[in-house]
A and B are shown apart, each in its own frame.
Chain A
Amino acid sequence: MGTHLPSTEFDGTAVDDQREADAEAVMGEPPAQMVQLLGPDGKLGADPVFSEYADKLTPEDLRGLYADMAAIRRFDVEATALQRQGQLALWVPLTGQEAAQIGSGRASQPQDYIFPTYREHGVALTRNVDLAELLRQFRGVSNGGWNPKDTNFHLYTLVLAAQTLHAVGYAMGIQRDQKLAASDRAGRQPDAAVIAYFGDGASSEGDVHESMVFASSYKAPVVFFCQNNHWAISVPTNVQTRVPLSNRAKGYGFPGIRVDGNDVVAVHAVTEWALEHARQGKGPVLIEAFTYRVGAHTTADDPTKYRHSDEEDAWRAKDPLARLEKYLRAEGLADDAYFAKVKSDGDELAAYVRRTAHDLENPDIRTAFANVYAEAHPLVAEELAWFEEYSAGFAGEEESAGQAAKAGH
């Protein structure tokens, strides 16, 4: 984004020209129009719109952004290790996407509500979700693990893109609350907005299209935050789109901004701008954070089957932590002692997570029976009664015929 506010006007970008640009983008070359403040060299640039937002960040804020990114990366390493040790069934790593997540999450206000997909561990950190709780889902003891009402951070959603519609509906609820509160001065709450996270792959789902139509029609206070990490499992972004994803917003009639997703300062600035825009009643914004999933899609994935390691190396050179570290050091905002402290804090977090993950209690299927409906349901009661009687039949009986058979006798 250059010298003007994000525009909803058609800029005449020819699709065919863009094809080449995109093919290049897949190989790691950022296209021209992209908000970037802190470059890979650790130097802070200027932007006519977003520098103002970046300037608001105090040295302490900047150190905080770094500390968060370092913490979540350390957490990611730990969770991957826990999976390898059989403590988790699956892990979805986020390494490479720290700036996109910490920058955007830190730009939100407590009253904002966040709808993540399943990789937004960094956003969860910024919303004060206990990271050990986050592991419940991946350990197979819960389909959630935290109460979204405590942190305004919704449960992870595994059916891709489904949550983008929930986000718009939630934002429509905020609009209505504002109207209701207008007649009641005492009940007035701070203006709020919603962020919906999704991936470049998920952007192809019909739900994303429908959510953008609704958001635009009703000017819902929602920020669509697409982390374009370049791969939907094995499928590159150019199978999902031939133009920068941020361009799509124009077609729906709201601003779209592509931001360097590895630049935590720019992501923070752009998201802050977008949330303000939404909270002020000006309608939705689409942010495309241009970033990269450095590791595997999940611990069950094998990226060597579909991409070259030189692509991964090219992106490692744009590491979001390294560039902020360079800046903090060059400006004298942080020294060796600071970075050593961040590291030891990370180790402590990892130890806490490791300890807690082991202790996550196994559930009982009775809990599942209890939570199918909010109100009593005779079929569930009948099946639970059957289950209790059936289980009681095994009490004290070490080796039933069936168990013997199961054991291979």
Chain B
Amino acid sequence: MTTMTIAKAINEGLRATLAANPKSLLMGEDIGPLGGVYRVTDGLIGEFGPDRVVDTPLAESGIIGTAIGLALRGYSPVCEIQFDGFVFPGFNQITTQLAKMHARSNGSLTVPVVIRIPYGGGIGSVEHHSESPEALFAHTAGLRIITPSNPHDAYWMVQQAVQCQDPVIIFEPKRRYWLKGDVDVQAPGPAEDPFKAHVLREGTDATVVAYGPLVPVALAAANAAEEDGRSVEVIDLRSISPIDFDTVTASVKKTGRLIVAHEAPTFGGIGGEIAARISERAFHSLESPVIRVGGFHMPYPVAKVEEDYLPDIDRILEALDRALSY
């Protein structure tokens, strides 16, 4: 067991991948000598050289598109997109090509490309540096999407993503890059299914589902609720596509109430999908409507008001009050 930050855990996960798989390689803007703007790839070019850690031209469509070609040739590229808001020049390649290659070849071609995207707000940054666009990708069949919330998952998920034969997008909660935690590097990691949700805290009155940056917020809200005598179960979704509905359904059957919290706008978001599925699967167990806590239907606002935008403990507690009032 070693303690490290999420950023360091991903760095170590990438290092392990590069060491174990000679056909794996990293691609992205500024990932070489600089080590990426968040230093997630720090030191890797020195260890593995410029053929394995490729400092690319400044072109997201180019990065994703060439990664597809490399994957078709048997390589396992891991692409870094510098910030959430800059993935869109590559959106065409991701959604029209990467996601569909396996299906349109009737299963004969696989494109195991991994795309790492730092996402989410709370860092006081300028435009396009704080967005949560996961729903735009989750809506596209053919992509798998995961998001770690702690260093242990960060370390293993990136390695598991590379081993997965499907394209995987890893949304990395950038405001948690410096969050420290235990990583069990000896764990039978690959056996820990990255697409399964984890129940982080047991409870009986309501279930809160969160992922990525909001997991610590959900846990803190559950702790606060406990002081008021409420028992809240917290689930870290971990995977956004596929979603582990079995774990969520089982929890809701026990608690009878569900709150889904994410930073992305609620309209058209992942929370809506979970609400609809759970209504179908556990209608008779529900004692209140599923309540979504999320961002507003607006462009991510300027830094000075992001506190009003981001779901916090109070927003989750308010949702809990509403759920319990039925």
Residues of A within 8 A of B (CB): 89-90, 137-143, 158-161, 201-202, 204-207, 232-235, 239-240, 300, 302, 305-306, 362-365, 368-369, 372, 377, 379-380, 383, 387, 390, 393-394, 400-406
Q: Which residue of B lies closest to A205 (CB)?
A: B59
A405 touches which one: B37, B221, B298 (CB < 8 A)? B221
B267 proximity list for chain A (CB < 8 A): 379
Query: In this assembly, does B33 line the interface, its C-beta being within 8 Å of a C-beta of chain A?
Result: yes
Could you tell me the distance between the alpha carbons of A197 and B97 in the complex, rounded to whole angstroms? 31
Q: Give B190-221 interface residues, CB cut-off 8 Å to A.
A: 220-221
**A401 with B317, Cβ < 8 A, contacts A158-B85, A235-B55 known:** yes
Query: In this assembly, does B61 line the interface, its C-beta being within 8 Å of a C-beta of chain A?
Result: yes
**A143 with B127, Cβ < 8 A, contacts A232-B58, A233-B30, A405-B220 known:** yes
**A402 with B304, Cβ < 8 A, contacts A89-B124, A160-B58, A205-B59 known:** no
A406 touches B89 (CB 8 A): no
Given A402-B224, A403-B314; 12 other pairs, CB 8 A cutoff: A140-B125, A204-B59, A206-B59, A233-B37, A234-B30, A364-B305, A368-B296, A369-B296, A383-B297, A393-B318, A402-B221, A402-B312
**A232 with B297, Cβ < 8 A, contacts A205-B89, A379-B267, A406-B313 known:** no
B304 touches which one: A139, A161, A234, A306 (CB < 8 A)? A139
A235 touches B29 (CB 8 A): yes
B86 proximity list for chain A (CB < 8 A): 159-160
B314 touches A233 (CB 8 A): no
- List the 4 shortest-distance A-B pairs measured between CB atoms, nearest first: A140-B303, A405-B224, A402-B314, A234-B34
Q: Which residue of A lies closest to B61 (CB)?
A: A206
Could you tell me the distance between the alpha carbons of A86 and B125 in the complex, rounded to whole angstroms? 13
A142 proximity list for chain B (CB < 8 A): 302
B58 touches A205 (CB 8 A): yes
B156 proximity list for chain A (CB < 8 A): none
**A401 with B227, Cβ < 8 A, contacts A140-B124, A368-B298 known:** yes
**A368 with B314, Cβ < 8 A, contacts A158-B85, A205-B58 known:** no
Could you tell me the distance between the alpha carbons of A373 and B89 in the complex, rounded to whole angstroms? 24
B33 touches A305 (CB 8 A): yes
A235 touches B58 (CB 8 A): yes
B308 touches A233 (CB 8 A): no
A90 touches B220 (CB 8 A): no
A204 touches B62 (CB 8 A): yes
B128 touches A234 (CB 8 A): no
B314 touches A362 (CB 8 A): no
A305 touches B228 (CB 8 A): no
**A365 with B305, Cβ < 8 A, contacts A235-B55, A240-B58 known:** yes
Q: Which residue of B lies closest to A302 (CB)?
A: B34
A379 touches which one: B127, B227, B297, B304 (CB < 8 A)? B297
B55 proximity list for chain A (CB < 8 A): 234-235, 239
Could you tell me the distance between the alpha carbons of A365 and B308 in the complex, rounded to whole angstroms? 7
B317 touches which one: A206, A362, A402 (CB < 8 A)? A402
A204 touches B57 (CB 8 A): yes
A377 proximity list for chain B (CB < 8 A): 297
Could you tell me the distance between the alpha carbons of A362 and B301 in the complex, rounded to whole angstroms? 12
B301 proximity list for chain A (CB < 8 A): 365, 368
Could you tell me the distance between the alpha carbons of A138 and B125 in the complex, rounded to whole angstroms? 8
A159 touches B89 (CB 8 A): yes
Could you tell me the distance between the alpha carbons of A206 and B299 in the complex, rounded to whole angstroms? 24
A363 touches which one: B59, B61, B302, B316 (CB < 8 A)? B302
B305 proximity list for chain A (CB < 8 A): 362-365, 368
A207 touches B89 (CB 8 A): yes
B304 touches A363 (CB 8 A): yes
5 pairs from A and B in contact (CB 8 Å cutoff): A158-B85, A159-B128, A201-B57, A232-B58, A405-B221
Could you tell me the distance between the alpha carbons of A67 and B109 in the complex, rounded to whole angstroms? 62
Could you tell me the distance between the alpha carbons of A103 and B308 in the complex, rounded to whole angstroms? 43
Interface readout for B284-301 with A: 1 if CB under 8 Å, 0 if not?
Answer: 000000000000111101
Could you tell me the distance between the alpha carbons of A142 and B317 in the complex, rounded to whole angstroms? 30
A233 proximity list for chain B (CB < 8 A): 29-30, 34, 37
Could you tell me the distance between the alpha carbons of A202 and B86 in the complex, rounded to whole angstroms? 12
Interface readout for B303-326 with A: 1 if CB under 8 Å, 0 if not?
Answer: 111001100111111100000000
Q: Which residue of A lies closest to B83 (CB)?
A: A158
Could you tell me the distance between the alpha carbons of A362 and B149 in the complex, rounded to whole angstroms? 32
Query: In this assembly, does B223 line the interface, its C-beta being within 8 Å of a C-beta of chain A?
Result: yes
Q: Which residue of B lies closest to A382 (CB)?
A: B297
Could you tell me the distance between the alpha carbons of A137 and B318 in the complex, rounded to whole angstroms? 32
B297 touches A372 (CB 8 A): yes
Closest chain B CB from A258 CB (angstroms): 20
A89 touches B224 (CB 8 A): no
B126 touches A89 (CB 8 A): yes
Q: Give B18-56 interface residues, CB cut-off 8 Å to A.
A: 29-30, 32-35, 37, 55-56
B224 touches which one: A207, A302, A365, A404 (CB < 8 A)? A404
B314 touches which one: A143, A205, A383, A400 (CB < 8 A)? A400
Q: Which residue of A lies closest to B36 (CB)?
A: A234
A390 proximity list for chain B (CB < 8 A): 315, 318
**A406 with B314, Cβ < 8 A, contacts A368-B298, A368-B305, A401-B227 known:** yes
Closest chain B CB from A306 CB (angstroms): 4
Could you tell me the distance between the alpha carbons of A90 and B303 in the complex, rounded to whole angstroms? 11
B125 touches which one: A89, A141, A239 (CB < 8 A)? A89
Q: Which residue of B lies closest to A393 (CB)?
A: B318
Closest chain A CB from B49 CB (angstroms): 15
A239 proximity list for chain B (CB < 8 A): 55-57
B313 proximity list for chain A (CB < 8 A): 402, 405-406
Q: Which residue of B lies closest to A403 (CB)?
A: B314
Closest chain A CB from B210 CB (angstroms): 15
Closest chain B CB from A360 CB (angstroms): 9
B315 proximity list for chain A (CB < 8 A): 390
Q: Give B139-188 interface residues, CB cut-off 8 Å to A.
A: none
A240 proximity list for chain B (CB < 8 A): 57-58
Closest chain B CB from A264 CB (angstroms): 27
Closest chain A CB from B258 CB (angstroms): 19
Q: Which residue of A lies closest to B226 (CB)?
A: A405
B312 touches A406 (CB 8 A): yes
A89 proximity list for chain B (CB < 8 A): 124-126, 303
Could you tell me the distance between the alpha carbons of A271 and B182 in the complex, rounded to whole angstroms? 58
Closest chain A CB from B257 CB (angstroms): 18
B33 touches A234 (CB 8 A): yes
Closest chain A CB from B30 CB (angstroms): 5
Could you tell me the distance between the alpha carbons of A300 and B313 in the complex, rounded to whole angstroms? 30
A138 proximity list for chain B (CB < 8 A): 126
Q: Which residue of B lies closest to A206 (CB)?
A: B61
B57 proximity list for chain A (CB < 8 A): 201, 204, 235, 239-240
